[in-house]
Amino acid sequence: MALAHQDPDVYDLIERERARQRDGIELVPSENHVSRAVLEATGSVLIDKYSEGYPGRRYYGGNEIVDEVENLARHRARVLFGVPHANVQPYSGSPANLAVYLATCEPGEAVMGLNLPDGGHLTHGWKVSATGIYYRSVPYHVRPDGYIDLDEVRRLAREHRPRLIWCGATAYVRELPFAQFAEIADEVGAYVAADVAHIAGLIVGGAHPSPTSHAHIITTTTHKTLRGPRGAMILVTDRGLTKNPGLAEKIDRAVFPGLQGGPHDHTTAAIAVALGEAMQPEFRTYAAQVVANAKALGAALMGRGFRLVTGGTDNHMVVVDLTPDGIGRGGFLQEALDAVGITVNKNTIPGEPSSAFYPSGIRLGTPAATTRGMREPEMAQLAGWIAQVHDEVRAFQLPAEREARSQVLRQLREVIAQSAGLAAIRDDVRALCRRFPVPGIG
């Protein structure tokens, strides 16, 4: 029975989400729109199968075809990234990163990653993550100009002799210095893991330098700039196998049985489809346009008076520093932009003066808008709308007293709901979206 008849409640929710995506613009850097082929693979009969183990070594019968699916995904990953080993079973990026710890570190050993408020990820050793609880986290930071402080990375590495150093980020807008991290890791005998979840599509599309000749291990999600399903991969490089010939086997054992049971075979198939799409010449055009759009969006925002972290971008995202108008206001602008159909995410900035819940910046990315076919003129248009929306809520400030914040938020939401200016922008956003339909859903 079709979903609309079997469960109209869930069907209605999905249709509402479809309409939200169709009639709005996703500027969250970690989001994208997949192709209809990826959607079809994700919703295929492979969802019915159980396949603990690896190709040729399963704990269930009937996996001959599943083995072919997984081998195809692994082959395409190896070819795209130029690596000898790929594991495509991790359920998402965080379990993939945890598997790297299990394969390379003992509990209590020192690990290094970029400080979360400076643009790092929870799984790079942040204090509330399991990676910061079970391992001795030594975070490094960015300089006042927003670039990674490589002098600090070297000093901390020499002092703490970490077992693992992460080179990767979730809100870092410049090229990642893979070669310098490899040099530092070699000096102290550490593994260097490149977490390229945000920029994997840019790497295979030739729009960002690759870590393959520098890192021992590469982790990535398969959504974001790769335009695949919500999954992840762990790649072991030739350099990694030179350091430890058993590293690929250690990674595989860390994923299964160390952390997971059966892989999600429908997701594996969709990963294979997305990787196949990334092998096509047009994907390189897409990756280049993502970066061009981000640069254009950043330049247009600066032209409207906004301050950007590092003053620009080398990749798919920009981070806007809103502190010239007050601290802790990222959420205010996020809510106002939501009302006009432009989806962003509030985000901390380096040296965050407020908190992660009330951060002082917003993070914007161009992968999804570029997938819809938008280019530099549309980025200028988006920057203009963002500036207009910001003007509507510029007067709202985050009170220092926690008790007063709920009242300010109520007032903010009343202004947003009643603003004729925001309503007009919402109509303009819908009109733009009609010109650039979402692939796969129309």
- CB-based contact 374:290 (threshold 8 Å): no
170 annotated active-site: no
pLDDT at 442: 65
426 annotated active-site: no
Secondary-structure percent of the chain, ordered helix, strand, coil, rounded to 5: 50, 15, 35
Structure tokens at 46: 């492979």
Consecutive 10-residue averages of pLDDT for the chain (442 residues): 95 97 98 98 98 97 98 99 99 98 98 96 94 96 97 99 98 98 99 99 99 99 98 99 99 98 98 99 99 99 98 98 97 98 97 95 99 99 99 95 93 96 98 95 74
Could you say which of 136, 154, 161, 230 is catalytic? Answer: 230
49 annotated active-site: no
- Strands (E) located in 338-381: 342-343, 345-347, 361-365
Q: CB-based contacts of 357: which residues, under 8 Å, 6+ apart?
A: 331
Could you say which of 23, 31, 52, 149 is catalytic? Answer: 52
As a whole number of angstroms, the distance between CA 387 and CA 375 comes to: 19
**Cα–Cα separations (whole angstroms), residue 271 to 37, 74, 424:** 11, 9, 40
**Residue closest to 105 by CA, chosen among 136, 78, 145:** 136
Taken in order of first residue, the domains within the chain and their CATH numbers are: 41-278 (3.40.640.10), 288-435 (3.90.1150.10)
Structure tokens at 288: 């280049």
**Residue closest to 360 by CA, chosen among 303, 403, 405, 320:** 320
250 annotated active-site: no
Amino acid of residue 104: T
Could you say which of 11, 50, 134, 147 is catalytic? Answer: 50
Could you say which of 70, 195, 321, 352 is catalytic? Answer: 195
SS3 per residue for 228-291: CCCCEEEEECHHHHHHCCCHHHHHHHHHHHHHCCCCCHHHHHHHHHHHHHHCCHHHHHHHHHHH
Structure tokens at 214: 């520098």
Contacts of 321-326 spanning 24+ positions with Cβ under 8 A: 321/349, 321/360, 321/361, 322/360, 322/361, 322/362, 323/349, 323/353, 323/360, 325/394, 326/397, 326/398
- CB-based contact 222:71 (threshold 8 Å): no
As a whole number of angstroms, the distance between CA 336 and CA 379 comes to: 18
What is the DSSP secondary structure assignment for residue 244, as one 8-state letter?
-
pLDDT at 1: 81
50 annotated active-site: yes
Could you say which of 58, 74, 174, 224 is catalytic? Answer: 224
54 annotated active-site: no
pLDDT at 440: 80
